[in-house]
Structure 1
Amino acid sequence: MKYLHASGVVLAAAGGMTAWTRALAAPALSVVATTSMIADAARQVGGARVAVTALMGPGVDPHAYRQTRSDIANMLRVDAVLWHGLYLEAQLEEFLLDLGKHKRVFAVGEAVPRDRLIAHSDYANRFDPHIWMDPGLWRSVVLAVRDALSEIDPAGADAYAAGVERHLEEVDALNAYAAERLATVPAERRVLVTAHDAFNYFGRAFDFEVLGIQGISTESEAGLRRIEELVDTLVTRGITAVFVESSVSARNVRALIEGAAARGHTVTIGGELFSDAMGPTGTYEGTYTGMIDHNVTGIARALGGDAPARGMQGRLAAGS
């Protein structure tokens, strides 16, 4: 009986030690990020020190997303909320601004200097929010994430500085890969036709003409006239590939293909691009680097350029 009792004490002590060790290893911060891109930046910069939850997963459109009760509960519970801003989360903006009166809330997308933003074509003092499409601009967001985490958790500032340095090396390598591979696309084929205007920063950074069926927000309607205009462009300029997006219905893109076919011109889908959300959770494409690698590699190959089938790190899913 004494032996059993002693064993119980040992086991209890061991159990207590395990709990104590877990407590020491627990993340210092809990953070909710609105988009998967911001969540990835927080994970890359924060490492094990930060527990990150993304509101919007793969295939979710941030322009139309509305908070749920569980979202509200999560955002009230965590240490901080990181959101994009620039009116990307249009349906969430009022709630997030109000939440900022009570909690630490950071609009990290607004760290990009105003002179590097593309003005919204329809609204004064509004800007195209799709800044992640240019890795050079995304650097500012990653740095803003570091600053936000360091403000909340000064004791972790050195860890966040090291994390941001590591991640920006990867972002810079991604930017260099994109410039190199996209430069191989013949000049006359550098026309990117997509479901909505999510790729204007991409076009500016890598010298592509970008034509979206819908406007900057997926909430805008694609009129018959716009589709007819783009069909005419496809036919007269001999464009043979258009792209669907993972977070936007392919209906309008297929209307372009059918319209061109009716005029005797064959257009195919060049691939599916990640526009407002990353790929599946737990995959390479479910990281910022993998998302942009997928887009760059797919666009280059579909439009006559030279890029390895598995991307810059050989990690893209086969056939992606």
Structure 2
Amino acid sequence: MKKTILLLAIILTVSCKQDKQTNGKLNVVTTTTMITDLVKNIGGDLINVQGLMGSGVDPHLYKASEGDVTKLVDADIIFFNGLHLEGKLVEVFEKMTNKTPVALAEELDKTTLIGSDYFASNYDPHVWFNIDYFKLFAKKVTQILSDKDPENSANYIENKAKYLAKLDTLQKKINATIEMLPKDKRILVTAHDAFNYFGKNYGFEVVGLQGLSTATEAGVQDVQKLAAFIIEKDVKAIFIESSVPKRTIEALQAAVKSKGHEVVIGGTLYSDALGNAGTVEGTYIGMFEYNVNTIVNALK
């Protein structure tokens, strides 16, 4: 792995390009699907966007391929989440000398973030589940695109305004849907702790089987402890995550059953990645609304 990172660093240091490509559009590279969708909404047809990660991809474990290196070399701008979400890619970013990737989460007020003992940054990196944070991401993306491509700044600003209005509408829909779920039923059990910002905003107690990162495996004691919690709290449903193998939640369901109780799998939630491209769940807004509907329908 270290040799691979060193090779990537050498290629990136020597080959990084600064100018627009021949079609006159900025080449923008993004990491997670959430950021890819955001940048496309702000940049529209004025930029070329290439996302490194696809649907169902776990950013905690993602490793750069040779194809990714080519994309990074040709990029005018690179946007990533930060807060050590893309842990293995950060080693590559840190060795890039001719360009500085933009960590969108660095725009956030650290005093408002949820702490984490696992990540080196000491913050939970799943910040996109706070829509207000995602609005700040949109503003930062707009600023960077405008600075790099001032000729199209007015278009980027207009696109930002339209997208922020859509996020306002999303927030109103989500609030209305969650109000349908009694507060004593707002217990969200998933494969790993990706939903803490969601829980903080909407009054859910969130429990993840694997903790904040999927890099750590849940042990037998973790499963048994959470099974006891589900029984004690009379949790009706637990949830699979699209980017985490479903066997962990199935094992949890089996552990609950072995104790003489039943808990259903309420559906699959999108946590670290959006749904398939071209679907409603393949957009940030569609993903968020789908998750909320799935959670509320299973728990009420």
Partner of 2:257: 261
Percent same amino acid at aligned positions? 38
> TM-score normalised to the size of structure 2?
0.90
Q: Does 1:296 align with 2:292?
A: yes
Displacement of 1:294: 0.8
Amino acid at match of 2:26: L
What is the CA-CA distance between 1:68 and the residue it aligns to?
A: 0.4
CA distances 1:254-306 after superposition (whole Å, capped 9, x unpaired) = 111101111111111101000000000111110111111110111111111xx
Q: What TM-score do you get using the length of structure 1 for normalisation?
A: 0.84
CA distance in 1, matches of 2:167, 2:105: 16
CA distance in 2, matches of 1:30, 1:124: 30
1:153 pairs with 2:149: yes
Question: Hey, what does 1:56 align to over in structure 2?
Answer: 53
Judge conservation of contact 2:83–2:121 (CA < 8 Å) in 1.
Answer: no
Secondary structure of the 1:85 match is coil
State the one-letter code of the partner of 1:250. Answer: K
Match of residue 35, structure 1, among 28, 32, 35: 32
Displacement of 1:122 in angstroms is 3.6
* Unmatched 5+ stretches in structure 1: 1-24, 305-320
RMSD (Å) for aligned C-alpha atoms: 1.4
Q: Does 1:47 align with 2:59?
A: no
How many angstroms does 1:208 deviate by? Answer: 0.3
For the residue of structure 2 that corresponds to 1:32, the secondary structure is: strand
8 Å CA contact 1:136–1:172 kept in 2: the answer is no
- Equivalent pair of 2:107/2:136 in contact (CA under 8 Å): yes
Hey, what's the Cα distance between the residues in 1 that align with 2:251 and 2:184? 24
> Highest CA radius of gyration, 1 or 2?
1
1:221 is matched with 217
Residues 125 and 168 (structure 1), Cα distance of their counterparts in 2 relative to 1, 3 Å cut: same
**Counterpart Cα distance in 1 of 2:272 and 2:120:** 23
Match of 1:93 among 68, 84, 90: 90
Quote the residue 2:278 is aligned against: 282
Q: Which residue of 2 aligns with 1:318?
A: none
In the aligned structure 2, how far is the partner of 1:104 from the partner of 1:151?
A: 14
In the other structure, the counterpart of 2:228 is 232
1:175-219: CA deviation from partner (whole Å, max 9, x where unpaired): 121112112111221000000000000000100000000111110
Counterpart CA distance in 2 for 1:176 and 1:109 is 24
Residue type at the aligned position of 2:92 = F
Q: Which residue of 2 aligns with 1:187?
A: 183
| Structure 1 pair 124–98 and aligned structure 2 pair: CA distance change class (3 A) | closer
